[in-house]
Amino acid sequence: MIIGCPKEIKVHEYRVGLTPSSASELIRNGHTVIMETNAGAGIGISDADYEAVGCEIIGSAAEVFEKAEMIVKVKEPQLNECAMLKPHHLLFTYLHLAADKPQTEALMASGCTAIAYETVTADDGSLPLLAPMSEVAGRMSIQAGAHALQKASGGRGILLGGVPGVAPAKVVVIGGGVSGMNAAEMAVGLGADVTVFDRNIDQMRYLDQRFRGSVKTVYSTQHALEEAVKEADLVVGAVLVAGAAAPKLVTAETAKQMKPGAVLVDISIDQGGCFENSKPTTHAEPTFVVDDVVYYCVANMPGAVAYTSTYALNNATLPFAVQLANKGWKQACQDDAHLANGINIQGGNVTFEAVATDLDLPYKAAEL
């Protein structure tokens, strides 16, 4: 199979879909890998590094799409990239379609088969290709929130950990999954007063044992959450419904009652965000203010630490990419139901039910 990897074009996105090591593994399996020139330049990987493992360097994204059968990316294709996709293409990347109808319709129009990293599952129901970026985003949320809390950034002027004689910041994390747990770990490490809201009793029990009482866990009811948010200095939204739009758990009215200069970081923004006032931002302009409250809603948070993120992502995606290349997508998905769960678009149809429901589009099961 000819596997193509274009340079990412989202604002301040420096990750790359294939590292030289990943490309080498695909080549060792008998495949051809073509890379757009400078695809890895943002994290210090040169064209020569790719050529050294046997890749072919291509001058433009258009040429990569023209020659490749399988396209491996990091972020969802922008509309001009969707226009380069054809029915014979297999696209393997993050999609986050439930919050993006224009992209969904463009992928449907292309006729391609699109497998989303974020809906591939594991035996225990977890999302193995989303997990590494959830870990990164969770940890980054506290760094970003701490910076936004500084007065020069428009925040309250609060140090997360406080100092002797001055209380630490109150941090509320909504969702105790991979992102939320990593956010809590960073916040506790900085000495903050941390409360995690969740509805999974087993997960709360696990968090209590993991943090040995240094994190408070609270069952998430609307009333309890609203009261905690109003008192918080930093709120991290880390809610996930696999493949579907995130629920709006902090209303505009609740946020309005927060302390002036308090900060909300919305990790769920890729899936539409879990705060009512959320709207996607970029690393170029990461924050905005509504009712004296600062919102950080960058839609590709891990892109800011692109080196770490690229290698963490490739560690997870490579085994699936090899399966898809070796067997073709139909056979690979027949052999692995978890990989089949990643098929979001196929033959002009939406093939992931939650996406179809959220976007009010027809649903049709993938034809394997």
When pLDDT is averaged across residues 343-348 and rounded to a whole number, the result is 97
What tens digit of pLDDT does each residue of 311-322 get? 999 999 999 999
Q: Which of 288, 223, 294, 286 is nearest to 258 (CA)?
A: 294
Contact 137/267 with Cβ under 8 angstroms? yes
Task: Identify the band that residue 240 occupies on the pLDDT scale cut at 50, 70 and 90.
Answer: confident
Q: Does the structure show a pLDDT above 90 at 119?
A: yes
**DSSP-derived 3-state class of residue 85:** coil
Active-site positions read: 96, 270
Angle at 43 between CA 32 and CA 313, to 5 degrees: 65
The structure tokens 């701490």 sit at 146
Locate 275 and state its tokens.
């705060």
What tens digit of pLDDT does each residue of 133-145 get? 999 999 999 999 9
When pLDDT is averaged across residues 187-194 and rounded to a whole number, the result is 98
What tens digit of pLDDT does each residue of 24-38 get? 999 999 999 999 999
Q: What is the DSSP string of 166-216?
A: BPPPEEEEE--SHHHHHHHHHHHHTT-EEEEEES-HHHHHHHHHHHTTSEE
Q: Does the structure show a pLDDT above 90 at 204?
A: yes
Locate 247 and state its tokens.
């629920």
Within the chain, strands assigned E span 2-5, 32-36, 56-58, 70-72, 90-93, 113-116, 170-174, 193-198, 215-219, 234-237, 263-266, 287-290, 293-296, 343-346, 349-350
When pLDDT is averaged across residues 235-259 and rounded to a whole number, the result is 94
The neighbour count for residue 184, using CB atoms within 10 Å, is 28
User: How much is the pLDDT for 100?
Assistant: 94
d(CA 225, CA 232): 10
User: How much is the pLDDT for 259?
Assistant: 97
User: How much is the pLDDT for 153?
Assistant: 96
User: How much is the pLDDT for 99?
Assistant: 87
When pLDDT is averaged across residues 63-85 and rounded to a whole number, the result is 97
User: How much is the pLDDT for 243?
Assistant: 81
User: How much is the pLDDT for 241?
Assistant: 84
Q: What does pTM read for this prediction?
A: 0.91
d(CA 322, CA 335): 13
Torsion of CA 189, 282, 118, 88, to 10 degrees: -150
Contact 258/232 with Cβ under 8 angstroms? yes
Share of the chain above pLDDT 70, in %: 100
Q: Does the structure show a pLDDT above 90 at 11?
A: no
When pLDDT is averaged across residues 147-164 and rounded to a whole number, the result is 97
**In sequence order, what are the residues at sequence separation of 6 or more whose Cβ sits closer than 8 angstroms to the Cβ of residue 280?**
269, 273, 297, 298, 299
Q: Are strands 343-346 and 113-116 parallel, antiparallel or unpaired?
A: antiparallel
Angular region, 38: left φ>0, alpha ψ -120 to 50, beta rest: left
Task: Identify the band that residue 242 occupies on the pLDDT scale cut at 50, 70 and 90.
Answer: confident
User: How much is the pLDDT for 332?
Assistant: 98
